[in-house]
Structure 1
Amino acid sequence: MLSRLINFLRACWLPSSDPCIHTGLEAAGRQDGLLWYKDKGQHMNGEFSMAVVQANNLLEDQSQIESGPLSSLGSGPYGTFVGIYDGHGGPETSRYINDYLFQHLKRLTSEQQSMSVDVIRKAYQATEEGFFSLVAKQWSMKPQIAAVGSCCLVGVICGGILYIANLGDSRAVLGRHVKATGEVISIQLSSEHNVAIESVRQEMHSWHPDDSQIVVLKHNVWRVKGLIQISRSIGDVYLKKAEFNREPLYAKFRLHEPFKRPILSSDPSISVHRLQPHDQFLIFASDGLWEHLSNQEAVDIVQNHPHSGIARRLIKAALQEAAKKREMRYSDLKKIDRGVRRHFHDDITVAVVFLDANLLSRASTVKGPSVSVRGGGIHLPAKTLAPCASPMEHNST
């Protein structure tokens, strides 16, 4: 059966001449089997490269780069927005964030007439509340949507300032040139919310002092209530509102004791950085990449290779490591179908954003090229990426 599966998929991993590739969508990126990529694009502050590889039956990672106006008003401010949304339990939450978070940000920036930490925090809050409303509407017909959630990593570059906001365990890493040594060092810019980290476990205990079982070790993995590894997210309504933690939700998600306040948080960690001329590039990626590459390994790969196609190169490096851990060849890993592939690696999304010091020094009122790209391509069917020879499955759990 495996050999038939491999033969079935082989066509979708051929070089770019393969008819499987959507050559007409070059502006929005290209699809090659389970891999989607946009090798090179231009944003207001330099170049960028994006790539996504699917492992789940349905692609749960979503992502976007928006460059140009950051408000609904034509008067500005202008800049670049990067979003990485790593879903879990299904694709509904990450897709919802991809559709609404940036729109909320633009509306709030218009109202406050500037970019700020407050604008970003309120955009997250509005997205969370919107998804809650969606769950409430669909609860009677589709109760399992209450157990779907997403990490949410955002970077906003505006007027030489970089804002990083995060929920969950995706990660943003800066590559900075050190003049004295000539090397490019990695600097992690995002805070992660995964209870594998001791300080996050301590934070959960401080939020829930009356619950000794708020974090438990299950199958050698720390999990909140034995269910989930992250402590902050969009969605996961079943751990935020007790009225959605009951039948007809699957028994495995239902807690024995009712809870009076949210177990998980949707309040992002936000940091602000003034970009320097020696700041070379930013790597935004879901934890599928960081599971296999260290911050410095990723920065070294970006530093030592051409800009074009660099996101795809990072994904390849991660997949090579994943194959090595399972004592198999990279070429064989590539032949494994979605769903089965999840046993070897997660969905992986990478966006590399290069920083041009000359462009960064411009005021946030100066217009630049308007860009809107979604990982997976905005013109592809909403259902998700899939091998082109195979019909789409509808199972989202």
Structure 2
Amino acid sequence: MANKFQGDQLIIGNLGDSRAILCTRERYQLIPIQLTVDLKPDLPSEATRIVNCEGRVFAAEEEPDVCRIWMPDDDCPGLAMSRSFGDFCLKDYGLISIPDVFYRKLSKQDEFVVLVSDGIWDVLTNNEVINIIASAPNRGIAAKLLVKKAVRAWRYIYLGSKVDDCMVVCLFLDDEQPVLSHSHSKNIGKHPSKHIHRN
């Protein structure tokens, strides 16, 4: 996922199952506005393209809630998104690398944009995410705080199973000099160790 500003225009290109949300304020209430669509293989338009290219879309028995794209005659690689860079073995079977592009005109009520990987969305809602970011004691640690809460939610909901990648980028809009905050989850379960935090 990539984002770009042109004046008061926000342009976001997405080709995975990450999500961008905007936090805007209506009087005293924070409102999440989902800016992108999670590009999962079971979205009707995505599934149609995949099936028309002879790919298959289904959920494996061990993960009945996770639809994946599969080769025509082999139960691999089982990719849980319908658009991606790489994954060359699926490119002839409906996987594409063309991003969905979303536009939004920003207003003075818009406070921040959050770009978040699917590991966060597996355990937190749009509302929870913007409230966690808004509650950070300072903007420089907002992304780190969200990752910490998501990891805690994974441990509680999935009872010790591996934690999916939790990556967060926050861009605060209401200053003359926007503040960027981003963070990755640390090594938990089967994922490699990586933790980045920068103001």
Counterpart position of 1:50 = none
Counterpart position of 1:283 = 114
Query: Do the aligned residues in 1 keep the contact of 2:50 with 2:57 (CA within 8 Å)?
Result: no
Using the alignment, how far apart are the partners of 1:194 and 1:172 within structure 2?
Answer: 15
Using the alignment, how far apart are the partners of 2:193 and 2:53 within structure 1?
Answer: 44
Counterpart position of 1:292 = 123
Using the alignment, how far apart are the partners of 1:209 and 1:386 within structure 2?
Answer: 39
Q: Does 1:325 align with 2:171?
A: no
RMSD between superposed Cα atoms in Å: 2.8
The structure with more radius of gyration: 1
Residue segments in structure 1 that go unaligned for 5+ positions in a row: 1-152, 241-260, 329-342, 360-367, 377-383, 388-397
Counterpart position of 1:223 = 68
**How does the TM-score come out when normalised to structure 1?**
0.41
The number of residues matched between the two structures is 178
Query: Do the aligned residues in 1 keep the contact of 2:3 with 2:12 (CA within 8 Å)?
Result: yes
Counterpart position of 1:273 = 104
Where in structure 1 do 4 or more consecutive aligned residues deviate above 4 Å?
371-376, 384-387
Q: Does 1:354 align with 2:172?
A: yes
Using the alignment, how far apart are the partners of 1:272 and 1:234 within structure 2?
Answer: 22
Query: Do the aligned residues in 2 keep the contact of 1:205 with 1:214 (CA within 8 Å)?
Result: no
Secondary structure of the 1:193 match is coil
Residue correspondence of structure 1 range 246-395 to structure 2 within 5 A: 261-306=92-137, 307-327=139-159, 343-356=161-174, 359=176, 385=193
Using the alignment, how far apart are the partners of 2:101 and 2:182 within structure 1?
Answer: 23
Query: Do the aligned residues in 2 keep the contact of 1:201 with 1:215 (CA within 8 Å)?
Result: no
1:201 Cα deviation (Å)? 4.1
Residue segments in structure 2 that go unaligned for 5+ positions in a row: 185-191
Provide, for residues 247-293 of structure 1, a one-character-per-residue CA deviation record: whole Å limited to 9, x for no partner. Answer: xxxxxxxxxxxxxx452111100011111000001111111111111
Secondary structure of the 1:234 match is coil
Choose the corresponding residue for 1:192, options 38, 41, 44.
Answer: 38
Specify which structure has the higher proportion of strand: 2
Counterpart position of 2:2 = 154
Query: Do the aligned residues in 1 keep the contact of 2:40 with 2:80 (CA within 8 Å)?
Result: yes
Counterpart position of 1:7 = none
Using the alignment, how far apart are the partners of 2:130 and 2:11 within structure 1?
Answer: 20
Cα 1:202–1:373 change in 2 (3 A) is: closer
Query: Do the aligned residues in 2 keep the contact of 1:165 with 1:270 (CA within 8 Å)?
Result: yes
Using the alignment, how far apart are the partners of 2:34 and 2:59 within structure 1?
Answer: 27
Using the alignment, how far apart are the partners of 2:120 and 2:107 within structure 1?
Answer: 26
1:165 Cα deviation (Å)? 0.7
Secondary structure of the 2:150 match is helix
Secondary structure of the 1:231 match is coil
Secondary structure of the 2:153 match is helix
1:347 Cα deviation (Å)? 2.1
Query: Do the aligned residues in 1 keep the contact of 2:170 with 2:181 (CA within 8 Å)?
Result: no
1:301 Cα deviation (Å)? 1.2
Using the alignment, how far apart are the partners of 2:93 and 2:53 within structure 1?
Answer: 14
Secondary structure of the 1:308 match is helix
